[in-house]
Amino acid sequence: MQRRHLCRAGLALAATAIPSRAPRAQSVPEGWPSRPIRLIVPYAPGGGTDVIARAVADRAGALLGTTILVDNRPGGAGNLATGIAAEAAPDGYTLLVGNIGPIAVNPSLFRNLRPDPAQALTAVTLLAAAPLLVLVNPRLPAADLGVLLALARSRPGGLNYGSAGNGSANHLAGAYLALKAGIEIQHVPYRGAGPALNDLVAGTLQMMPATIPSSIGLVRDGLVRALAVTSAARVAGLPDVPTVAEAGVPGYEMSAWYGIMAPAGTPRPIIDRLQQAVAAAIRAPELRERILAEGAEPSGNSPDEFRDFAAAERRKWAEVVRDARITVD
C-alpha cells in the first residue's frame, strides 16, 4: 500500500515537472515594420476614397512608426488593384483599399475572376460605409419615393436611371431598388458619375442613385430632388430625407463601403496591429469629421467582423446580380 502511494506521488511530481506544450501566443515579428508599407487604392488620385486613404495612411503610418505610401492603380473595375495586392508577399508591407465592387460584386459579375478576393485577401478593418441618395429631376412629378414607385408601376420600363457604369454602386442601388419594389426601370450606364449627374440635371435622365458627396450640392441648389437615402438610418446632413425602407420599400439597405485588406497568409499578429493603428487613426476627431463630411459612417471594426461583413455582402450581391441579370460591357 505504501509503495502504491509513493508511485502515485512520483507520477504527480513528474507530471508537474513536464514542461507545458501549449502553443505560445504569437506576436508581431521583431523589427516589423522596418520599411514603408504600400497601400494600393483602385482609383485615380483626388477622389473621395483616395483622399480618405491618404489621411488614414498618414495617421496610421505615424502610429506604426513608418510611412504608408499610397499607390493608385485604377482600372478593370477595381480588379487590377485587387490582383496586384493578392499577388504580393503576405508580410504586412502591402495593403489594399477593398470596396463593395471588386470584393463583393465582381466575383459574380466577371466570369472566372482570378484571383478570387475571398481566397486571396484577408480582412483588416472596415474604414467606412457611404449611403447613396435616390435622386430625381425636379420636373418629374414625384414629390416622394412612394409617388415615384407608383409612377414606375404605371409605366413599366418608361423611367430611366443613370449610373457610373455597369456594375457600379449606382447601378447596383438602382437594380436592387427595382427588385425590392417590384418595378421595371431602364438602366443607362455612363463613363463616370459626373456625366450622369449632368444629364440628370438637364432632364435627359429621370432618376439616379448617387453618393452624397457628389450630389449634395445639387440637392441644396434645387437642381435635383432627393427622395430617399439608401442606408438603414437617415443621414445627419439631410435629416428630412427618409430612408428607402421608411419611404415604402421594407428591407432595402445599401451602402458603398470600403476597407483595408491584406494578402492572404499575412500573420494574424500583423493584421491585428494594422487594425489597431487604422482604427485609432479613424477615431481621431479631424479624420472622423472628414469621413462624415464625405457622407460616410466611420467604422474601424475587427478583422473578423469585417471578414463576416464582406462575406455577407458577397452573398447579397450575388443574388442581386443574378436576379437583375446584371452584366458588364
Please state which CATH number belongs to domain 37-129+257-324.
3.40.190.150
Q: What class does CATH assign to 131-229?
A: alpha beta
In this prediction, what percent of the chain has a pLDDT beyond 90? 65
Q: Which residues of 16-41 are buried (b: 16+ CB within 10 A; e: fewer)?
A: eeeeeeeeeeeebeeebbeeebbbbb
Task: Give tens-digit pLDDT for 141-151.
Answer: 999 999 999 99
- pLDDT tens-place string over residues 24-43: 446 888 889 999 999 999 88
Return the pLDDT at 7: 45
For residue 207, the SS3 value is strand
**Predicted structure pTM score:** 0.81
Q: In the chain, what percentage of residues exceed pLDDT 70? A: 92
Q: C-alpha cell of 198? A: 449632368
Query: Could you tell me if 209 and 132 are in contact, meaning their C-beta atoms sit under 8 angstroms apart?
Result: yes
In the block, which residue shows the cell 466575383? 107
Whose cell is 420599400? That residue is 249
Nearest to 172 by CA among 109, 248, 81, 233: 109
Q: Give dist(CA 258, CA 231) in Å, integer.
A: 15
Label the pairing between strands 94-99 and 37-41: parallel
Of 312 and 76, more confident = 312
Which residues in the chain are classed under CATH 3.40.190.10?
131-229
Residue 95: band (very low, low, confident or very high) from pLDDT cuts 50, 70, 90: very high
110-149 as b/e: b if 16+ CB within 10 A: beeeebebeebbbbbbbbbbbbbbbbbbeebebeebebbb
The whole-chain average pLDDT of the chain stands at: 88
Question: What is the DSSP secondary-structure string of 305-321?
Answer: HHHHHHHHHHHHHHHHH
Q: What is the dihedral of CA 111, 169, 87, 119, to 10 degrees?
A: -70
Q: Where in the chain is the domain with CATH 3.40.190.150?
A: 37-129+257-324
Q: How confident is the model at residue 177 (pLDDT cuts 50, 70, 90)?
A: very high
Q: How open is the CA angle 24-30-31, to the nearest 5 degrees?
A: 165
